[in-house]
Amino acid sequence: MSEQDIRAERLKKLDILKAAEMEAYPSDSHRDTSNADLIAQFDELEKSTHKVHLGGRVMSLRGQGGIMFADIFDGTGRMQLVLQKADIDEKVFDLFAMTVDAGDFIEASGTMFKTKRGERSLKVQKWRMLAKSLLPIPTEHFGLKDEELILRQRYLDILLNEEVRKMFIRRAKFWQSARDFYLSRGFLEVETPVLETTPGGADARPFKTHHHALDIDVYMRICAGELWQKELLIAGFPKVFEIGRVFRNEGQSREHLQDYTQLESYEAFADARLGMKFLQELYRHIVKETYGRYTFEIGEHTVDFAEEWPEIDFCTAIQKEFGIDAISCTEDEAIEAAKNVGVTFGQSPNKARAIDHLWKKIRKGIAGPAFLRGVPVYLSPLAKQMVKDPEKADRVQIIIAGSEVGNGYSELNDPLDQRARFEEQQALRDAGDDEAQRLDEEYIRAMEHGMPPAFGFGVSERLFSFLENRPAHEAQIFPLMRPKQ
């Protein structure tokens, strides 16, 4: 039977319910316990013959003649309903048989008992419809198979796939564990603007829109309030963090999305070296609280967060692998080295983009967790320089399973240095690099009032997708998709 035919049949059942004076979509429910609580208290309730009221979605129906069975699911667990014509009003029984389908939400009242096979069940005395489904849900045995349909109709995938349901419970635990970690260490959780007149804090192409009330163009933020949070350090808050949505108008891949959740934090009077211990503790806390373990299989890599995390020097790795000095090489030498290993440039090539591509070639072979140090300053426009090696940024990246999964900096707090770096970035933008950062006069003005030394850090939901060993879009509850034509 086609979906259209099934819908037509179910519409007829609405008429039957109406004729029987039973609402198909009531606003109230008499449900007084969850299936999970009922299962936990089953023995006590069975002895007491106390009447209970359940509610949930019918996942399966079976039976014939004078007895029918239904399994209902309420998000906490399943319970079998047993309807026997001998135990309830015949009209109530017949109405159930004529109108209830898999997918419907119903309410059932009765007492608890065990069937002859020992299955915990509710002996139904009364029932009513809570929401009549007009479209069928796939059978649980077969479920959804088409990958695009799985993501497009995620609600059905979650309903029918217990592992997917558990993944999104873990996702909630993932972010809550991070939040708890920061709060326990005295950080203040903040919310910063999503719409900005000057997008900053990262090398990325923003989404642009128009603010009609102010009649100005604005941008959706490309990081979770980096510059705003540093202004809060200027304002006198010593520790701040935000978990929020960010938007980048860039390509999509297994690791990259256009809108996603990101954590960013800033701690005054700290630096990257001090931050490394903090980050190691953060990651270990997250994986232990969310998964109860430290070892993960991610792609081709085995990653053990409990092991010591080695330090990798960026320039040493580039020199060893490609024979060029990432600091002193010319732009032409960097571009030529990148092209020799198959790098293609989608925009005007420059030294920074070329060296970054070379590093990414190396990074793929690192299982981690590991700390990357010694990144050239020209790749880190917002980070302080290392005191003993000023051509390198005092930056730390966390490498996991061949990818960057976390970024931290000793934040730049010299307004004159910051202006010079912004101007360099603006020059790259003017030359055609639309991912380079913009000159932000307001932020520089804030810095000129005095900003304390600080350690800043950011990690996105990429970490969660890596721990799940899934592409990033599969680890999102409702990933963005092209509308159906």
Position 443 pLDDT exceeds 80 = yes
Can you tell me the mean pLDDT for 121-130?
95
Beta strand 120-131 with 78-84: parallel, antiparallel or unpaired? parallel
Give residue limits of the domains in the chain: 3-137, 158-310+368-475
Please report, for residues 265, 463, 471, the alpha-carbon distance to residue 179 in angstroms, rounded to integers and kept in the order given: 11, 15, 24
Position 480 pLDDT exceeds 80 = yes
- The token duo for 318 is 């580039």
pLDDT digits (tens, 9 = 90+) for 91-106: 999 999 999 999 999 9
Position 371 pLDDT exceeds 90 = yes
Model pLDDT, residue 283: 98
Position 442 pLDDT exceeds 80 = yes
Q: Which CATH architecture has domain 3-137?
A: Beta Barrel (2.40)
Taking the C-alpha atoms of residue 268 and residue 201, their distance in angstroms, rounded to an integer, is: 17
Model pLDDT, residue 142: 55
Model pLDDT, residue 1: 81
- The token duo for 467 is 């721990």
Omega of the bond leading into 369 within 30 degrees of 0 (cis): yes
Comparing 199-208, 279-288, 401-410, which segment has the lowest mean pLDDT? Answer: 199-208
Taking the C-alpha atoms of residue 380 and residue 392, their distance in angstroms, rounded to an integer, is: 9
For tokens 């007084």, name the residue.
Answer: 32
pLDDT digits (tens, 9 = 90+) for 243-275: 999 999 887 788 888 899 999 999 999 999 999
pLDDT digits (tens, 9 = 90+) for 141-150: 555 567 778 8
Please report, for residues 223, 240, 431, the alpha-carbon distance to residue 200 in angstroms, rounded to integers and kept in the order given: 7, 18, 18
Kindly report the CATH class assigned to 158-310+368-475: alpha beta
Model pLDDT, residue 223: 86
Contacts of 441 (CB under 8 A, 6+ apart): none
The answer to whether 272 and 397 are in contact (CB under 8 A) is no
The answer to whether 232 and 226 are in contact (CB under 8 A) is no
Banded model confidence at residue 40, pLDDT cuts 50, 70, 90: very high
Can you tell me the mean pLDDT for 227-250?
94
Model pLDDT, residue 344: 80
Taking the C-alpha atoms of residue 436 and residue 433, their distance in angstroms, rounded to an integer, is: 6
The answer to whether 401 and 299 are in contact (CB under 8 A) is yes
User: 424: buried, middle or exposed (CB in 10 Å: 19+, 13-18, 0-12)?
Assistant: middle
Q: What is the model's pTM?
A: 0.88
